[in-house]
Chains A and B, each alone.
Chain A
Amino acid sequence: MRQAGETVTGPEASVAAPEVLRVAGVSVSLAGRQVLDDVSFTVGAGQFTGLIGPNGAGKTTLLRVILGLQRATAGTVSVLGQPRSRRNPSIGYVPQKVLLDPDLPMRARDLVALGIDGHRFGMPLPSRARRQAVSEMLHAVDADRFADAGVGNLSGGEQQRVLIAHALISRPRLLLLDEPLANLDLRSGQEVVSLLARLATEQQVAVLLSAHEMNPLLPVMDRVVYLAAGRAASGPADQVIQADVLSRLYGHHVDVVHVHGRVLVVADAAPGGDGADLTASHAAEAG
């Protein structure tokens, strides 16, 4: 009955772009709990992929495995055809809940500059090329206006832009973002999403973005990796977000409801709860 690691359409069928990321049979157990169970999917160059699932589905753990910050109990991750290594310059990363203190003595451009060489020991030497690269990157994320403002004083949406610039300035082929929309109001969230969609094309970078609420992403997502109860289904959104596919993932019956142009995943009356929207309710809480 259970078909974990299901791929709705084979990667070969729909991924025309060269493969940037391949996750194959990844399982993770943390403190005896199975967090990820045989997760497999691929991401092609320049694709925008949404990693969707309710809170606690294992999204952050999966991203940490891809980054090499978390060891997988089983399975492999390869980036650009190579087994992933400890420091992988082909991956840019924007973690969730980065708290930038108002007193942090850093302008937006200083934080972006750390994206070039922040991992190296020693102090940076002033360099014209470096300054120019930073300015170009800030321009690419529409951050010229606050390039010289202290990062801690920026709004949540502005900070996301700066963190995205920080992650992209080393020209990675894959950009991972962990719940970048979680603390943003609707409008800033939409701005960040359209920015990322544009960057995916402009900078030829594959975007893998985790979110518990899929609706803001539906217009731009090339593919979905839907994660529930540690299991994943992947493919084009309209093929993955189907009642039968998601019911198999959740292990109980769910309905996919289209209301006012939004897609909601709704659980049946299950033991321990009435019918509940499994994804959008979190967004309602956050808003």
Chain B
Amino acid sequence: MHQIWTWVFEPGFFSSAPVHVAVVTGGVAAIVSAVTGVFTVMRGQSFAGHALGDVSAAGGSGALLVGLNPLLGFVGLGIFGAGVMDMIGVRRVRGRDLATGIVLGAAIGLSALFLYLDTATGATSGAPQQILFGSIFSITSGTIPVVVIFSLISLASIALAWRPLLLATVSPDIAAARGVRVRVVGLLYMLALAVSVGLSSLAVGAILSTALLIGPAAIALRVTRTAGRALATACLTGIGTTWLGILLAYDSYYWGAGHQGLPVSFFIVALIFAGYLLSGLPAARIAAGRRETASHAAASPARDQIAA
């Protein structure tokens, strides 16, 4: 018994301070990303989420350059980028797509500049790896309060916008006709999105933040039928994959003779991807009642043909 325990949790896992910080920040980032991600997937704004990750990268690398905590850069520039995207994004889907692409391009250019300067000045030679792909074990414990404050801002925005956001996601026309200020609701959501992307950039890196945002949400939407359950499933999936990823990365140090630990981000993203594949299996969808039962199948034959 004890052997299995130490085989699963290699020595020092529970007493390691970096692991504690990683478990807390990773868990919080996973929850916030999962909650925001459910709406991101429902609204078809994955591309915007990815673009905000790149904007965050520019913010994080810029923050390192001036000696600030990268999290402030991630979130700060993320919110600014979200505002710019909304401003030039107009209401049309194609306009939104275009605005997102323009902002994304500019952000990657800035990241290239800042990361070059970060490494050229020599002070932070690991900047590209840290900003783009994350280094959750190197987060300082002083960052935790900031992480908690940001996560509360993000969750509060979603909770506040909940009903009108759902309505506007179903149909902006219906929402507007009922007096919902669709633009305001959209901005609240973009604020939550920018903050959560910043948090997941800290956990798994700016480039991979999309995986933590979209993955658990997409899995949840495949296997649930109500918004509440989708949220709960996404949160559990996000936390599960993040913590398991942290554990595997920690253990990976002991796997080879070379004692070369593998990156956390890889494990988290790989687990999410595996989860997504599993959730697509017919058994998973039928068990969750997402697929129609025989009594209803006659009414939507086209859908069943597609599914088959």
Contact = CB atoms under 8 A, between A and B. Distances in A.
B177 A98 contact: no
A154 B300 contact: yes
Given A98-B171, A105-B227, A105-B230, A87 B179 contact: yes
B178 A119 contact: yes
A19 B279 CA distance: 54
A148 B289 CA distance: 10
Given A87-B178, A119-B164, A110 B227 contact: yes
A111 interface: yes
A103 B176 contact: no
Given A118-B164, A123-B162, A101 B42 contact: yes
B162 A146 contact: no
Contacts of A87: 178-179
Contact of A114 (B41, B167, B224): B167
B239 to A, nearest CB: 19
Contacts of A104: 42, 169-170
Interface string B264-291: 0000000000000000000000000010
B42 A119 contact: no
A93 B171 CA distance: 11
Given A118-B163, A119-B163, A102 B303 contact: yes
Given A103-B222, A105-B221, A106-B227, A119 B300 contact: no
Contacts of B148: none
A69 interface: yes
Nearest to A98: B171
Interface string A72-113: 000000000000001110010111001011111111001100
Contacts of A95: 171, 173-174, 177
A74 B173 CA distance: 23
Contact of B177 (A67, A122, A149): A67
A146 B174 CA distance: 22
Given A93-B177, A110-B227, A119-B179, A100 B164 contact: no
B300 A155 contact: yes
A260 B171 CA distance: 39
B226 interface: yes
Nearest to B299: A155
Interface string A110-134: 1100100111111110000000000
B41 A103 contact: yes
Interface in A141-175: 146, 148-150, 153-155, 158, 166-167
B2 interface: no
Contacts of A122: 159-160, 162-163
Interface in B173-230: 173-180, 220-222, 224-227, 229-230
B110 interface: no
B161 interface: yes
Most chain-B CB neighbours within 10 Å: which of A150, A153, A154? A153
A143 B181 CA distance: 30
A185 B162 CA distance: 35
Contacts of B171: 95, 98
B296 interface: yes
Contacts of A167: 174
Contacts of A101: 42
A111 B290 CA distance: 16
Contact of B42 (A98, A105, A123, A124): A105
Contacts of A88: 179
A107 B226 contact: yes
Interface in B124-174: 159-164, 166-167, 169-171, 173-174
Nearest to A88: B179
A17 to B, nearest CB: 24
A158 B19 CA distance: 52
A104 B163 CA distance: 14
B38 interface: yes
A118 B178 CA distance: 8
Interface of A: 67-69, 86-88, 91, 93-95, 98, 100-107, 110-111, 114, 117-124, 146, 148-150, 153-155, 158, 166-167
19 contacts: A69-B173, A69-B177, A87-B178, A95-B173, A98-B174, A103-B42, A105-B225, A105-B229, A106-B225, A107-B225, A114-B167, A118-B178, A118-B180, A121-B160, A146-B296, A146-B299, A153-B303, A154-B299, A154-B300
